[in-house]
C-alpha cells in the first residue's frame, strides 16, 4: 500500500472499500476446456480416459473428472464443456450410427452395454436401447418413446 494511502486509511471505513473480484482457482485454462469439449464430442461423456490419453495427457483422470463435474453442474455458467455434453446427450443417432446399431444388435443381441463399449462409445446404453426399440426394431412404429410415469 502506498504511503499516502496508509496515512489516510484510519479515516475511512474499510467496509466501503471496493472488494476484489473472487477469482476461481481452476487448474484448467480456456483452451483446455475447449479440448475437453472436443473430447466429449469425439469420445462421449463417459470416456474421460480417452480424452486424457489423446488430448490432455498432462492432467490426471481425477482432475478431468472433477472439471467435468464442476463445468456441467446445473448452476454452472455456460461453458464449452456444458454445451458439448448437451450436444452429445440430446442428439439423435446419425444414419451411419443407426447402421452400426443394426449390425451390433445382429452380433450381440440386445446387450446395450456391450454394444456401446464396442460400437458406439459416445452414446449411452439408454439412447441405443430407445433408438432400437422405437425406431429400428422390426415392427417399431417410429414413434417417440413413452413419457415416464
Measured distance CA(11)–CA(48) in Å, rounded: 55
114 has a pLDDT exceeding 80: yes
| Cell numbers for 119 | 460400437
* 110: helix, strand or coil: coil
What is the average pLDDT score of the chain?
A: 84
Does residue 146 register a pLDDT over 70?
no
Helices 80-90 & 61-71 angle (0-180, nearest 10): 80
14: which DSSP letter?
G
> 67 with 26: CB under 8 angstroms?
yes
Residue 10: pLDDT band (50, 70, 90) is confident
Q: Is 83 exposed, middle or buried (0-12, 13-18, 19+ CB in 10 A)?
A: middle
Residue 33 has pLDDT above 70, yes or no: yes
Task: Identify the pLDDT of residue 45.
Answer: 83
pLDDT for 21 beyond 70: no
Question: Averaged over 51-56, what is the pLDDT?
Answer: 94
C-alpha cell read off for 51? 480424452
Mean of the pLDDT values across residues 32-39?
94
How would you label 114-124 residue by residue, b for 16+ Cβ within 10 Å and e otherwise?
Answer: ebbeebbebbb
Q: Decide if pLDDT at 102 tops 70.
A: yes
Has residue 20 got a pLDDT over 70?
A: no
Residue pLDDT, tens place only, 60-89: 999 999 999 999 998 999 999 999 888 777
Amino acid at each position: 500500500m502506498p504511503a499516502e494511502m496508509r496515512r489516510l486509511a484510519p479515516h475511512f471505513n474499510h467496509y466501503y472499500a471496493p472488494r476484489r473480484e473472487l477469482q476461481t482457482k481452476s487448474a484448467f485454462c480456456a483452451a483446455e476446456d475447449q479440448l475437453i469439449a472436443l473430447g466429449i464430442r469425439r469420445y462421449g461423456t463417459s470416456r474421460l480416459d480417452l480424452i486424457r490419453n489423446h488430448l490432455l495427457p498432462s492432467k490426471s483422470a481425477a482432475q478431468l473428472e472433477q472439471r467435468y463435474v464442476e463445468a456441467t453442474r446445473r448452476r454452472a455458467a455456460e461453458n464449452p464443456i456444458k454445451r458439448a455434453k448437451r450436444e452429445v446427450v440430446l442428439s439423435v443417432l446419425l444414419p451411419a450410427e443407426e447402421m452400426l446399431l443394426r449390425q451390433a444388435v445382429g452380433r450381440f443381441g440386445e446387450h446395450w452395454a456391450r454394444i456401446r463399449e464396442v460400437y458406439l462409445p459416445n452414446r449411452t446404453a439408454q439412447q441405443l436401447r430407445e433408438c432400437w426399440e422405437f425406431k429400428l426394431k422390426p415392427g417399431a412404429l417410429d414413434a417417440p418413446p413413452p413419457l415416464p410415469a
